Amino acid sequence: MPTSSPSPVGNNDGPSLTASAIIAPAVSGSHVLKIDGYSRTKGLGNGKRINSDTFTIGGHRWCVQYYPDGVASNDTDRISVFLFSDRSDDTEVKAKFKISLLGQDRQPVPQYSFSSLIHTFSTKEAAWGFAQFIKKYDLEESLHLKDDVFSIRCDVTVLKEIFTEPIRPPVVVPVPPSDMHQHFGQLLLAGEAADVNFEVGAETFAAHRCILAARSSVFKAELLGTMKEKTATHIRIDDMEPKVFKALLHFIYTDSLPVMDEGDGAATAQHLLVAADRYSMERLKLICEGKLCDHICKSTAATTLALAEQHGRVALKEACFKFLTSPGNLKAVMASDGYDHLRSSCPGVMDELVAMLAP
């Protein structure tokens, strides 16, 4: 009975991804041929040409062939223009080109701009172009011929040999997430190099005035501006609870909120929203607003709505209104301790609420 051979130790049969690219390089360039004395070139004879100076594009020599009386016997009333590959060997050249009559602004005239397909220039076919480029009468009656002078531009794109090359995967250097907030948080906890102290209630908090100023325009004005606190090393804050100021400092240094007790989270977010508004910290205000939107209940709806109105938090106000549209919720809120405060501090909000609930 045939048996299968075991896989070699360490063999990795997992998926792999390789990549390659097909490169079709090209080199482009342009040459302008000025015909000064057009009337004196006419009559040269059908099939007779005048060559431009030789120019180099893509490592190959070229010239523009100008036939003032046409290249073929049936084109005597037209000007013919060709691109000629001036080669000294038998190599073939693949190229495409565009021949344009230039206006007085030196820009191609769309009506007389002709693009070719990709042609192979060889010893047998050394020139390609446009036999019926423009009628002589049309040129002579146009504004493009001025003082017996007009110009032609030839744009050439030489196609190089197509090749394939592997695409090497980028080198990935693993970079850990930023831990700057941890370093600043440790600086706050250690109080190293602190140059200002805040007395809040019975607690004192050491901080760094430059960090506070960088995070809050209000702190910047107080600590680095012309206010008296600029030179003070001890600042008293009487209208804020210590735990709220501590949370404010934590956010200033780490851009995040500290861990809050589940039962105390909504109340702390309310007080922190007031502090954020006081110190003009918009991101903190939005974070607190979002937390309060998620913690609206019958016992907090009235105070939260008053807070939203007083501090211009539109989303929080709408969330409170949505909660109060339920008759059961509204009745419970009207019986809460915060309802009288809402009526006295924000009478306009009550008018909005009554109008919204009116049938």
Domains of the chain: 24-163 (2.60.210.10), 179-295 (3.30.710.10), 296-359 (1.25.40.420)
**What's the confidence (pLDDT) of residue 341?**
77
- Cα–Cα distance for residue pair 144/120, rounded to 1 Å: 32
What value does the mean pLDDT take over residues 249-254? Answer: 97
What is the average pLDDT across 53-75? 94
Residue 273 has pLDDT above 90, yes or no: yes
pLDDT at 315: 93
pLDDT at 229 exceeding the cut of 70: no
With 80 as the cut, is the pLDDT of residue 248 above it? Answer: yes
How confident is the model over 37-56, as pLDDT tens digits? 999 999 999 999 999 999 99
In angstroms, rounded to a whole number, what is the distance separating the alpha carbons of residues 333 and 330?
A: 5
pLDDT of residue 342: 80
pLDDT at residue number 91: 82
Among 19-23, 87-91, 143-147, 197-201, which is the least confidently predicted range? Answer: 87-91
Cβ of 344: how many Cβ atoms within 10 Å?
10
304/289 Cα distance (integer angstroms): 10
Look at residue 8 and tell me whether its pLDDT is greater than 70. no
Which residue in 252, 26, 41, 263 sits closest to 160, CA to CA? 26
Model confidence at 232, pLDDT cuts 50, 70, 90, reads: confident
- Per-residue pLDDT at 5 exceeds 60: no
> What's the confidence (pLDDT) of residue 153?
97
What pTM, to 2 d.p., does this model score? 0.58
* Cα end-to-end span (Å), the chain: 87
